[in-house]
Structure 1
Amino acid sequence: MSTPNAGRSSIGQLEDDSLIRKAIENEKQLEMKQLIKRLQLQQHVEGGYYAETFRSPLKLNTSWSSTDAVKKSSLDLANNDSVVTNTCQRNICTSIVYLLTKQSPICYWHKNRSDIIRYFHGGGSMKVFTIDDVGLLQTVRLGGNIEAGDRLQIVTKGGNWEALMLVDGDWALQGEAVAPGFDYRDMEVGTRELLHTFPGLVDTIKLFLKE
C-alpha cells in the first residue's frame, strides 16, 4: 500500500528535475552568448554566426564577372602583364570563424565560386552536405571525434551546393579559408528551385531551405 504522500513526493521530484534542467539550459545559453560576444560574432545570412578574421590585401584578376550567367570555380591569372578578358578582381584569400549552436543549428543551402577549406576549432561536430552539378550528394562530418568518423579539415569545391548542420554537442566552431577570397557577388542562397533541379534529393533539400 502506498503512503498518502508518495504521489506528492514523485511530483515534487519531477518539478525539482525540471528546475535543474532549466537552470542547466539557462547556463548553457549564457555561456553561448558570452562566446558569441567574446569572438565578436554576428548572425550570418546563411544561418549561424561568423566573424571575418582575415582578408588578404593582395588581389588577383579572375575570369569571373558579377554578371556571369554561368558561375565557374576555375580562375585565370594575369601573367606577364597579359590582360584577362571580362575580369573581376578578388582578394587572394579570406578567412572567418563560423559557429553553429542548438539555437541556430543549420547553415542553409548556398554555393560559392571559390573553394573553401574548413577547419575544426572546437565544440561538437557538424555534418557538411554537398551537391555537385550532376546531383551527387555527399556528407562528411567535421569535428574532433575521430573515432566517430569526424575529419579535422574538409575541402568543399567551388560551384557545389552546400549546407551544414550541428549533429553533436551544444555548439560547434570552425574556421573557413576561402580562395579566391569570399565576395558576396560570388554567393548564391538556395531556393525552392533546387527541388526541381535535383528531384531525386527532395527530402534532403527541404531540410536546409531558408524560405
Structure 2
Amino acid sequence: MTSKQDYITKLKLETHPEGGWFKETYHSDDKYYAAESNCERYRYTSILFLLDGNNPSHFHRLNHDELWFYHDGKNIVVHCIYPNGEYKAIKLGNDIGNDEVPQFMVPKGTIFASSVDKKADFALVSCVVAPGFDYSDFELMHKADLLKCYPNLNNIINRLALD
C-alpha cells in the first residue's frame, strides 16, 4: 500500500496555500481570452491534490468550474456552499454503495472546502479547472465573512475556514 509520504515524495507534491499538498500535472498547449477572468487562460489545468485529517482544503471560491476525481486513500468530503446559500457535502471515493462518487464537479462561484476524516491517513484526488486555474481567479474565504452570510453553517465554517 502506498503511504501519504510516498505520494508526497514520489509525486513531488508541495504545500498548497488553501491546505494539503499539490502539483500541477497538465495544462492545455494553448490559451484563449477568458471573459470572466478578463485575460488569457489555458483551456484547462490539472493538479494532483492530497489532503489528510490535519490538513483540509479551506473554504475558497473560483470563477471557473472545477472537476474532482478520486484516486486513493480514504474518502474526501467536498463541502459546498452554493450561490443560493444551499449547503451540500459530497463524499468522493470508491464506495458507491455508501453514497460516495468517484468524480464531482464544483460549479463556478461555489464556496467550497474539502476534508478527510481526522482518523484517516490521506486522500489523493485530481482536480481539473476549465478554463485553467490562475491564482487571480481564486478567492480564499475568511471565517468572519462567511459567518456573517451563513450563520446557520457555523460548525463547518469554524472547522474549515481561515481566521
Partner in structure 2 of residue 90 of structure 1: 41
Q: Which residue of 2 is the match for residue 140 of structure 1?
A: 90
Distance 1:129 1:55, change over 3 A: same
Matched, 1:188 2:139: yes
CA distance in structure 2 between the partners assigned to 1:183 and 1:34 by the alignment: 28
Q: Say which one has the larger Rg.
A: 1
Provide Cα deviations, 1:65-109, integer angstroms capped at 9, x if missing partner.
4xxxxxxxxxxxxxxxxxxxxx311110000000012342x1100
Indicate the structure whose relative CO is greater, using CA pairs within 8 Å and at least 6 residues apart.
2
1:111 is the counterpart of 2:61: yes
CA distance in 1, matches of 2:96, 2:120: 15
- Other structure's SS at 2:108 match: coil
Q: CA deviation at 1:120?
A: 0.6
Over residues 127-176 of structure 1, what are the superposed CA-to-partner deviations in whole Å (9 max), with x where a residue is unaligned?
11101122110111001122211100101001100010103731110011
Are 1:164 and 2:136 counterparts?
Answer: no
For 1:11-160, list aligned pairs within 5 A: 31-65=3-37, 87-104=38-55, 106-160=56-110
What is the one-letter code of the residue matched to 2:93? Answer: G
Distance 2:34 2:69 in 1: 26
Alignment coverage as a number of residue pairs: 161
Give percent identity, aligned residues only.
31
* CA–CA separation in structure 2 for the residues paired with 1:182 and 1:162: 15
Runs of 4+ in 1 over 6 A off after TM superposition: none
1:197 correspondence with 2:133? no
For residues 34 and 154 of structure 1, the distance between their equivalents in structure 2, rounded to whole angstroms, comes to 26
Q: Which structure has greater strand proportion?
A: 2
Partner letter of residue 135 of structure 1? G
CA contact (8 A) 1:142 1:151 kept: yes
User: Which consecutive residues of structure 2, in runs of 5 or more, have no partner in the other structure?
Assistant: none
Q: TM-score, normalised by structure 2?
A: 0.92
Equivalents in 2 of 1:64, 1:152: separation in Å?
29
Distance 2:58 2:86 in 1: 18
User: What is the RMSD computed on CA atoms of the aligned residues?
Assistant: 1.8
